[in-house]
Structure 1
Amino acid sequence: MLRAVAMMFVLTLPMWGQAQELLVPHQHHEWASFPEGSWKQVKQVTETFKEGELVSSMTTTLTIRLKEVGKDYIVLEREAKSEVSGQVFEKPIREFRSGLNGQSSGQRVRITPGGEQKISILGKPYNCEVRQMEVLGEPTKITGKVFYNASTPPYILRREHTFKAEGAEAPQKEMVAEVVALNKPYPVLTEIKTVAFIVQKTTSADETTETVEAQCTEVPGFVVGTWMTAYDAAGKLKSKTTVQLLNYEVATEPANATTSKTGLFRNKRQQRRVFDDSE
């Protein structure tokens, strides 16, 4: 998924001062903008194909909870249960600590301002700050551009990334993700909310994936729906994955939220919506 790919990119070298050393500030981050204790539950269904025929299907229910938000990191707790061919597999609860842009320990990135550039969404121009990045010290050179607009959710309106092996002439993988629609009504559990739609295409020598994602900044993690299709080098269908939001909650902020580590939490009331899954 889009955010899962973005988690590969790290930003640890400040170029704009302390408040801007991250890809986006806390209040525009898909998790750090929510109070600790906020969570979401999703159902992911992955179908695998061979020669056009369905060969397997796996359904996974994931519950992801925000445990901690720091100045430059988050801690997420993940609980998962998968069902394959009628068998249910419970997975242990795990915690994951990452930088606000997904960096693992030891990774560094050089990030440089790339000026301003306009992009068009359905014929309307949007001014964006261009932020260029390069992952340092890795065998695969990862470079990219991010187009950021602080007043237009979901804030990152376009991403371009290239993966290139050391010494290679051609990239191993290229990814482009862009917002194609903004402020669209969309059913989020029992309510109609405003979402943005993002289209991503990732290409490599042996696979092409096409993904459509719906993002709502009122829901932890932003993502409320994903539809991904993968094709092999010959253009034959390999897999389909859908992600459906089942439930979520935005935790009530503590009274001292304005003096927290980040000081950037939004003032959000507690919310919970229950999905009636009749399947």
Structure 2
Amino acid sequence: MLRVAALLFMLLLPCVGHAQELLVPHEHHEWASFPEGSWKQVKQVTETFKDGELVSSMTTTLTIRLKEVGQDYIVLEREAKSEVSGQVFEKPIREFRSGINGQSGGQRVRITPAGEQKISILGKPFKCEVRQMEVLDEPTKIVGKVFYNPETPPYILRREYTFTPVGAETPQKQMVSEVIALNKPYPVLTEIKTVAFIVQKTTSSDETTETVEAQCADVPGFVVGTWMTAYDANGKLKSKTTVQLLNYEVAAQEMVPATTKTGIFRNKRNQRRVFDEQQN
């Protein structure tokens, strides 16, 4: 999904001493901008096709909770329940720790500031800070460019990436995502909120994936809707995935100084959203 790809490849700026300067500051991060304890619940439906015919369908309910926010990392807790052919499978609760911009624990990256550049969304220009990036010491060379605007949610307005195996002359996979609309009214449970729409296209030798996503900065994780379609090398439909927001809560906590471990102020938001299941 678009959000998965975005989370994997939003990366850190170079270090200054032992402190790390973040590509996306806490107040602009899809999870770190919310108080610990905030959560969301989504329903994901994936349909698989063969020769144009539906062969299977799986529905998964995911509850994702923000457990911890540090200076340069987050910890998310995930609870999942899937239904396939009428059978329900409950998965154990798992915790995932990642860098504040999605990098894995042992991953090293090099980020190079590349000045400023204007991009256009529906004819309106937006000045962005450009960052070029490269993942180091990996079997696949990953390089990309990120366009960041600190005043316009969802803040990363465009991403470009290529994936090239060691020894290959051309990329094995390419990905481009961009915001195509901003400040659009959209039903988020019982409210109408402002969202941005993002499109992403990922191409490889054996598959092309097209994704549309709605993001709202008021909701933990930002994503409130996803529609993804995958095609094989011959252009035949492989799968369709939709993600629907079922419920969410922004934890209401007072702003207090953080521990010396993080060195920042946490719980910047003091708002709360709770929606009963019968309202969905």
TM-score of the aligned structures, taking structure 2 as reference length? 0.94
Contact 1:15-1:111 within 8 A present in 2 as well: no
The answer for unaligned runs of 5 or more in structure 2 is none
| CA distances 1:145-200 after superposition (whole Å, capped 9, x unpaired) | 11000000000000001100111111010000000000000000000000000000
1:123 is the counterpart of 2:90: no
2:58 maps to what in 1? 58
Q: Secondary structure at the match of 1:31?
A: coil
> What is the root-mean-square deviation in Å for CA atoms of aligned residues?
1.9
Change (3 A) 1:133 1:221: same
1:106 maps to what in 2? 106
| Residue 105 (structure 1) shift | 1.7
Contact 1:39-1:220 within 8 A present in 2 as well: yes
2:232 maps to what in 1? 232
CA distance in 1, matches of 2:142, 2:15: 19
2:29 maps to what in 1? 29
2:155 maps to what in 1? 155
Contact 1:27-1:264 within 8 A present in 2 as well: no
Letter in 1 for 2:96: F
Identity of aligned residues (%): 79
1:41 maps to what in 2? 41
Please list, as runs of the form range in 1=range in 2, the aligned pairs for 1:166-185 lying within 5 A after superposition: 166-185=166-185
TM-score of the aligned structures, taking structure 1 as reference length? 0.95
CA distance in 2, matches of 1:249, 1:5: 24
Letter in 1 for 2:186: Y
Please list, as runs of the form range in 1=range in 2, the aligned pairs for 1:112-261 lying within 5 A after superposition: 112-256=112-256, 261=263
CA distance in 1, matches of 2:254, 2:156: 28
Residue from 261, 266, 269 that aligns with 1:267: 269
Greater shift after overlay, 11-20 or 223-232? 11-20
CA distance in 1, matches of 2:84, 2:42: 17
Q: Secondary structure at the match of 1:27?
A: helix
Contact 1:162-1:174 within 8 A present in 2 as well: yes
1:79 maps to what in 2? 79
| CA distances 1:208-238 after superposition (whole Å, capped 9, x unpaired) | 0000000000000000000000000000000
Greater shift after overlay, 251-260 or 166-175? 251-260
Letter in 2 for 1:183: N
CA distance in 2, matches of 1:156, 1:128: 9
| CA distances 1:71-125 after superposition (whole Å, capped 9, x unpaired) | 0000000000000000000000000011012222211100010100000000000
